[in-house]
């Protein structure tokens, strides 16, 4: 690897890998994922992809084994400490992989405030974050570090409570646990080392970010087209969510109507479409947008 190449680390297989691959492909970077190799090269770009366990990504980016990485904020803060203090920068929040690190108790134990955790044994795969939380809140508890199936720890008797990732809450529910306290709200983030990289690597990161921004902006945006009576143009343009300036065009053979085209920067819900109809719009088309470059 030369300093003219950029290496991006993503999770090889797991909850973030599919979304990472999708994001890269929408950003125009294609890789051969059939390979079992640790590193795969982008087609026609000086970009290498490292396919690794998510736990290794913060360290790889910190030590510049890779210059960019996508990882859950939870893993980043567990491995390198609080983001304000660690040696990598979060350059984008990516809007997927949402979850939270939370404390939970068996439903049989009443929760009477954080002090309920005093003297308890808490099972977790996030010992560093839990340790910091206990210290910050002046709590004395024993951390029982386990790597998988944390939620069964109270049932099996090795702990009294847990500190684990929660998404829908279904796993806690099915194990008779009640979530009491959030330690961290997490999502997938794009990280890079804090220090300066080579000029070509900096340029490649800037290009990567611009492409990711283009994809992210387009995600909820829709191109909306409709016909409308001339006297309803103002009312209709007020109804289109997150819209800037609409294009208004005359319709052939219909003096009283115009065609309105606009980019809605937010999702267009059925309620909006119903209101547009009530305001006189007809032939409404809502189309997805692939990229927005401003």
Nearer to ligand PRT, 52 or 204 (CB): 52
Instruction: Tell me the site size for ligand PRT, rule CB under 6 A.
Output: 21
Interaction of residue 55 with Zn ion, rule CB under 5 A: yes
72 binds, among ligand PRT, Zn ion, none (CB under 5 to 8 A by kind): ligand PRT
Q: Restricting to residues 185-214, name those near ligand PRT by CB under 6 A.
A: 186
**From the CB of 100, what's the least distance to ligand PRT, in Å?**
9
The residues pairing with 285 across neighbouring beta strands, listed in sequence order, are 225
Stretch in the footprint of ligand PRT (CB under 6 A) among 69-77, 134-142, 238-246, 252-260: 69-77
Phi/psi of residue 201, each to 5°? -70, -40
The residues pairing with 178 across neighbouring beta strands, listed in sequence order, are 105
Nearer to Zn ion, 54 or 77 (CB): 54
Interaction of residue 166 with ligand PRT, rule CB under 6 A: yes
Q: Contact 180/133 with Cβ under 8 angstroms?
A: no
**From the CB of 97, what's the least distance to ligand PRT, in Å?**
4
Interaction of residue 170 with ligand PRT, rule CB under 6 A: yes
Lookup result for tokens 């893993």: 75
Q: How far apart are CA 246 and CA 32, in angstroms?
A: 41
Q: Restricting to residues 211-250, name those near ligand PRT by CB under 6 A.
A: none
169 binds, among ligand PRT, Zn ion, none (CB under 5 to 8 A by kind): ligand PRT
- Cα angle 135, 137, 143 (rounded to 5 degrees) comes to 50
Contacting residue, 167, 238, 282, 283, with ligand PRT by CB under 6 A: 167
**From the CB of 199, what's the least distance to ligand PRT, in Å?**
32
- Cα angle 86, 91, 97 (rounded to 5 degrees) comes to 90
**From the CB of 53, what's the least distance to Zn ion, in Å?**
5
Radius of gyration of the chain (CA): 25
Contacting residue, 171, 180, 198, 237, with ligand PRT by CB under 6 A: 171
Q: How far apart are CA 53 and CA 123, in angstroms?
A: 22
Which helix (H) or strand (E) is 234 found in, with range? Answer: helix 233-239
Q: How far apart are CA 222 and CA 241, in angstroms?
A: 10
Q: How many helices (H) and strands (E) does the chain have?
A: 9, 15
**From the CB of 211, what's the least distance to ligand PRT, in Å?**
23
Contacting residue, 99, 122, 129, 232, with ligand PRT by CB under 6 A: 99
> Which strands, in side-by-side order, build the sheet including 99-106?
142-145, 121-124, 161-166, 99-106, 177-186
Q: Contact 202/196 with Cβ under 8 angstroms?
A: yes
Contacting residue, 48, 54, 151, 164, with Zn ion by CB under 5 A: 54
Residues making contact with ligand PRT (CB under 6 A): 11, 14-16, 53-55, 72, 74-75, 97, 99, 164-171, 186
Residues making contact with Zn ion (CB under 5 A): 54-55
């Amino acid at each position: 690897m030369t300093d003219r190449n950029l290496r991006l680390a993503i999770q090889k297989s797991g909850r973030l890998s599919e979304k990472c691959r999708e994001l890269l492909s929408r950003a125009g970077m294609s890789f051969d994922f059939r390979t079992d190799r640790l590193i795969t090269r982008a087609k026609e770009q000086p970009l290498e992809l490292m396919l690794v366990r998510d736990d290794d990504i913060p360290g790889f980016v910190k030590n510049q084994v890779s210059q960019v990485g996508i990882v859950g904020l939870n893993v980043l803060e567990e491995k390198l400490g609080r983001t304000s203090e660690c040696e990598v920068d979060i350059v984008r929040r990516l809007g997927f992989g949402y979850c939270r690190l939370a404390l939970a108790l068996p439903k049989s134990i009443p929760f009477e405030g954080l002090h309920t955790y005093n003297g308890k044994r808490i099972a977790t795969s996030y010992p560093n974050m839990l340790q910091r939380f206990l210290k910050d809140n002046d709590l004395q508890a024993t951390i029982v570090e386990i790597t998988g199936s944390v939620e069964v720890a109270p049932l099996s008797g090795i702990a009294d409570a847990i500190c684990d990732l929660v998404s829908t809450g279904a796993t806690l529910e099915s194990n008779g646990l009640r979530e009491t306290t959030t330690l961290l709200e997490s999502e997938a983030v794009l990280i890079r080392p804090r220090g300066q990289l080579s000029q070509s690597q900096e340029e490649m990161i800037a290009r990567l970010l611009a492409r990711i921004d283009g994809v992210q902006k387009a995600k909820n945006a829709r191109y909306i087209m409709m016909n409308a009576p001339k006297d309803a143009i103002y009312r209709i343009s007020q109804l289109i969510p997150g819209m800037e300036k609409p294009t208004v065009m005359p319709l052939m053979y219909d003096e009283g109507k115009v065609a309105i085209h606009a980019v809605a920067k937010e999702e267009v819900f059925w309620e909006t479409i119903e209101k547009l109809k009530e305001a006189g719009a007809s032939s409404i088309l809502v189309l997805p947008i692939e990229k927005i470059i401003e």
